[in-house]
Amino acid sequence: MSDKAFNPFVMAQMQFDKAAEFLNLDEGTRELLRNPMREYHFSIPVHMDDGKIKIFRGFRVQHNDSRGPGKGGIRFHPQETVDTVRALSMWMTWKCSVVDIPLGGSKGGVICDPHNLSAREQEQICRGWIRQLARNVGPNTDVPAPDVMTNAQHMLWMLDEYETIYGEKMPGLITGKPVGMGGSLGRTEATGYGVIYTLREALRDMGIKPDQTTASVQGFGNVAQYAIRLYQQIGGKVTCVSCWDQNDQKSYSFKKSSGVDPNALLTITDRFGGIEKTKASDMGYEILPGEAWIEQDVDILIPSAIENQITGDNVNKIHKNVKIIAEGANGPTTPEADKVIHERGIFVIPDFLANAGGVTCSYFEQVQSNMNYFWEKDEVLGKLDVKMTAAFHAVKDLADKRKLYMRDAAYLVAVSRVAQACKDRGWV
Ligand code: GLU
């Protein structure tokens, strides 16, 4: 089977089964953890600007809440499927566990394309999503957040609808809110910065100086933009970034050997991370096919777009000089590709460890919202660095001790904590 059409939920279950085998988990625990505990599927009717009614399909999947309330983003995507949301909810459980925050795993989605929706139509989708789930999410049950193509404004509309239904203020319902409206300073930077905190530790362990490295990045959304910035601050050079073109909606790679300039690129980027390729060309970028980011002669690859990007079909294009893959996206590498990467000895910082900075900062936001007392940005980012660094070393130490691939070690750390919580609660 070509893994191009790989089902992410099948992939998440395969990864879990491997960890369950390593940990010798009993049958009941395996069955509990390889499926979500609850899921909701529903319709959201929207009165469109042209007067017609359009029905959007929405989901919320709650994989496991043994360690605390469910936590996870809501994606707006035209190709959203419930299996993708299931996989992502499971990865959220492992993500919260690997950074050791008291939260479980959930994920939500709506099949829609915000590119083709007015602000008013998007607001209706957000309010409709919350109306469908008002009894099933909450500050102590399941706490949503932004994800692919959703942002702070979407979160605030959802919070407003929830507070209207319940008649009281509950800012702990949702994270990723605008700063000044219950949001945490540093949340925007957190996921991308977290990727680089773990990358910095990996480089230190390998005895490589960041200022002697180059990287190629897939994506130019929130995660990629801040990963590029912090990587540059520690001395690294990004020579290629890939993303889609605003006009033809196709993916391209933008190469500049002297180093990409995220500030300049941002001036020609829309709010979904799409670039105008003709303007990029005017800025001196070489425009290459979408997949060219993967074959660059660099030390580090940072896939920071969406799932299923490094596959059996393109994994062999990875340049022989690549030493590290830091997975900013959720599930960017299929199992077939992962096997090749493992065999080649490339050091992988697996997705749910590398990109856990977002949810870790969400946890800080939840704490601040519930206390109604907000920290300075340096304090937030300092605490984030401590958490990410500790999580990286917990995984790396286990990988060294038991001679494991980093992804397997991350799974062992995360799954064992969740299995223990289920056991301690008397569920299994
Ligand atoms: N959507 C982000 C993720 O995949 C953050 C989730 C959250 O903050 O709850 O990790």
Model pLDDT for residues 171-230, shown as the tens digit of each residue:
999 999 999 999 999 999 999 999 999 999 999 999 999 999 999 999 999 999 999 999
Residue 256 is among the residues annotated as catalytic for this protein: no
Mean of the pLDDT values across residues 58-78?
98
Shared fold status for 38-183 and 188-354: yes
In the predicted model, what is the mean pLDDT of residues 61-86?
97
Please report, for residues 36, 137, 327, the alpha-carbon distance to residue 218 in angstroms, rounded to integers and kept in the order given: 30, 33, 10
Alpha helices in 182-293, H assignment, sequence order: 187-206, 222-233, 262-266, 277-282
Q: What average pLDDT score do residues 315-344 get?
A: 97
| Ligand 1 atom index nearest CA of 176 | 8
pLDDT beyond 80 at 103: yes
Position 270 pLDDT exceeds 90: no
Pocket test of ligand 1: the residue of 147, 222, 226, 368 to mutate, having most ligand atoms within 8 Å of its CB, is 147
Mean pLDDT, range 231-259, rounded to an integer: 95
Protein residues whose CB sits closer than 6 Å to any atom of ligand 1: 71-73, 95, 145, 147, 175, 330, 355, 358-359, 362
Residue 402 has pLDDT above 60, yes or no: yes
**What distance in Å separates the CA atoms of residue 377 and residue 372, rounded to the nearest whole number?**
16
**What confidence score (pLDDT) does residue 247 get?**
87
Residues 6+ apart with CB under 8 A from 407: 15, 338, 342, 348, 350
Three-state SS for 49-80 is: CCCCEEEEEEEEEEEECCCCCEEEEEEEECCC
Q: Which pLDDT value is given to residue 302?
A: 98
What was the pLDDT predicted at 83? 97
* Distance between Cα 125 and ligand 1 center (Å): 20
Cα(9) to centroid(ligand 1), Å: 17
Task: Provide the residue type at 325 as one letter.
Answer: I
pLDDT tens profile 346-390:
999 999 999 999 999 999 999 999 999 999 999 999 999 999 999
- What's the mean pLDDT in 65-73? 98
68 pLDDT more than 70: yes
What is the rounded distance in angstroms from the CA atom of residue 195 to the CA atom of residue 143?
23
Ligand 1, atom nearest to 362 Cα = 8
For residue 4, name the pLDDT band (cuts at 50, 70, 90).
Answer: very low
- Average pLDDT of span 47-52: 98
pLDDT at 5: 60
Active-site choice (107, 177, 255, 256): 107
Give me the residue label for tokens 């362990």: 205
- In whole angstroms, give the CA distance from residue 360 to residue 357: 5
**Is 38-183 a CATH 3.40.50.620 domain?**
no
- The residue ranges of every structural domain in the chain are 38-183, 188-354
Kindly report the CATH class assigned to 188-354.
Answer: alpha beta
Pocket test for ligand 1, best of 362, 380, 388 (most atoms within 8 A of CB): 362
The answer to whether 233 touches 198, Cβ cutoff 8 Å, is: no
The answer on pLDDT for 246 being more than 60 is yes
What is the CB neighbour count within 10 angstroms for residue 74? 30
Angle at 296 between CA 291 and CA 299, to 5 degrees: 130
From the CA of 278, how far away is ligand 1's center (Å)? 33
Query: Which of the four pLDDT bands, split at 50, 70 and 90, describes residue 272?
Result: confident
For residue 1, pLDDT beyond 50: no
Instruction: Confirm if 46 and 76 have CB atoms less than 8 A apart.
Output: no
Task: Return the percentage of the chain with pLDDT > 90, whole number.
Answer: 96
Which residues make Cβ contacts (< 8 Å) with residue 16, sequence separation at least 6? 33, 34, 90, 411, 415
157-169 pLDDT, tens per residue? 999 999 999 999 9
As a whole number of angstroms, the distance between CA 307 and CA 252 comes to 17
Does residue 145 sit in helix, strand or coil? strand
Cα–Cα distances (Å) from 180 to 171, 365, 379, in that order, read 12, 12, 17
Q: Which atom of ligand 1 is nearest to the CA of 330?
A: 4
Nearest atom in ligand 1 to 358's CA: 5
pLDDT for the residue 29: 98
Q: Which residue bears the tokens 């099948």?
A: 10
Q: Are 123 and 48 in contact (CB under 8 A)?
A: no
Ligand 1 atom 9: residue of nearest CA: 72
